[in-house]
Amino acid sequence: MLETVVQAVINGLLIGGIYALVSIGVTLIFGVVKIVNFAQGEFVMIGMYISFYLATQFGIDPILSLFVSMPVLFVIGVLVQHFLIRRVLGPNDMPQIFLTFALSLLLLNLSLLLFSANYRTVHTSYSDEAFHLGGLYIPEAKLIAFVVAMALSGALWVFLHTTDLGKAMRAASQNRDVATLMGINPNRVFAVAFGAALALAGAAGSLLMPFYSAYPFVGQVFVLMAFVAVVLGTLGNVIGALVASLMMGVAESLGIQFVGADSGLIVVFAMLLLTLAFKPNGLGGGRVR
C-alpha cells in the first residue's frame, strides 16, 4: 500500500514537471505582458516537431535538441510579440483573446497540413527504460525531463531576480506606467518575456519527445493542465505555477490510483474549485516572483 502511494507520488511529480514548464510560460506572459496566451500549447507542439525531425533526420537526441528548439521558439516569441501582440495591447482585452486564440487555430491547422495527423514517436536508448528500486520504478526519460524542467525553472527565477532585464520584467509587471517612467522600454521587456515563455514551451516539447507522441493536437492536452496550474498558483506568479503544477501532477496520479482512472482530472478540478472558492487569487501571491 505504502509502495503504491509512493509510486503514485513519483509518477505525479514527474509529469508535474512538464506541466510546470508549460504553465510557467503562460504565467510569465500573463504577469509581464498581461495577456492570456491561448496558443501556448501549440508552441509545445512545435517544440516536439523540431525535436522529432532533428532526431529522425540527423539522429540528434531529443533532449539535446533543446538547444535548438529553445532558441528557435525564443525568436518566434519575439516575432509574435513584435508583429502581432504589440498591435492589440491596450485597455480592451477582447482583441488579445481573439488574437492568441486565432493563432492557436492557425498553428493547429498549419501543422495538420505540414505534418499530417499521424502520431510521431522517437526512440532513444532510454525511452522505455526505468530505474528499478525495490518495487518502485522511475522511468529514465521522465526523470531527465523532470530534472531539466526544474533546472530551467530555477534558471528563470535567478534571471528574474538577479539580472537588470529580469528586474525590469518584474517591474513592468508590477506597474507598467511607472516602469516606463523609470526608463524601462516596455516593448523590449515584453518581447523578451514572450520569447522566454515560448522557449520554455519549446523545452517542454523537446523533453516530452522521448516518451510522448507528437501530433498536431498534442498541445491541447497539456495546455488545459497548464491553465489550471496558472490559476491555482495565482496568475502571474512563477513559483506559484511551479508548485501548483507539481501538486496537480500528484493529485491527478493519486486520483487515478485511488478514485478511478477516469477520475484523475476530477481531483484536479475539485482542487481548482476549492481554491477559487476560498482563495480566489490562487495559492501564491500576485506579481511575478
> In the complex, what is the shortest distance from the CB of residue 193 to another protein, in angstroms, rounded to a whole number?
26
Task: Answer yes or no whether residue 121 interacts with another protein by CB under 8 A.
Answer: yes
In the window 179-208, what residues touch another protein (CB under 8 A)? none
Number of residues located near another protein, criterion CB under 8 A: 38
Burial category of 43 from C-beta neighbours within 10 Å (exposed 0-12, middle 13-18, buried 19 and up): buried
Task: Figure out which of the listed residues 57, 164, 181, 262 binds another protein, where binding follows CB under 8 A.
Answer: 262
Q: Residues with Cβ < 8 Å from 118, sequence gap 6 or more?
A: 215
For another protein, which stretch binds (CB under 8 A), given 79-87, 145-153, 189-197, 213-221?
Answer: 213-221
> In the complex, what is the shortest distance from the CB of residue 252 to another protein, in angstroms, rounded to a whole number?
8
Taking the CA atoms of residue 199, residue 201, residue 203 and residue 207 in that order, the dihedral angle to the nearest 10 degrees is 180
Residue 75 or 273: which CB sits closer to another protein?
273
Task: Figure out which of the listed residues 113, 114, 261, 277 binds another protein, where binding follows CB under 8 A.
Answer: 261
Task: Answer yes or no whether residue 124 interacts with another protein by CB under 8 A.
Answer: no
In angstroms, the CA 198 to CA 172 distance is 19
Task: Answer yes or no whether residue 7 interacts with another protein by CB under 8 A.
Answer: yes
**Count of residues in the chain:** 289
In angstroms, the CA 215 to CA 129 distance is 23
Residue 55 or 197: which CB sits closer to another protein?
55
> In the complex, what is the shortest distance from the CB of residue 92 to another protein, in angstroms, rounded to a whole number?
34
234: left (phi over 0), alpha (psi -120 to 50) or beta: left
Closest CA to 50 of 155, 204, 197: 204
- Provide the 10 A C-beta neighbour count for residue 266: 14
Task: Answer yes or no whether residue 119 interacts with another protein by CB under 8 A.
Answer: yes
Q: Which residues bind another protein (CB under 8 A)?
A: 4, 7-8, 11-12, 14-15, 18, 118-121, 123, 127-130, 132, 137, 139, 211-213, 215, 221-222, 225, 249, 252-254, 256-257, 260-262, 264-265
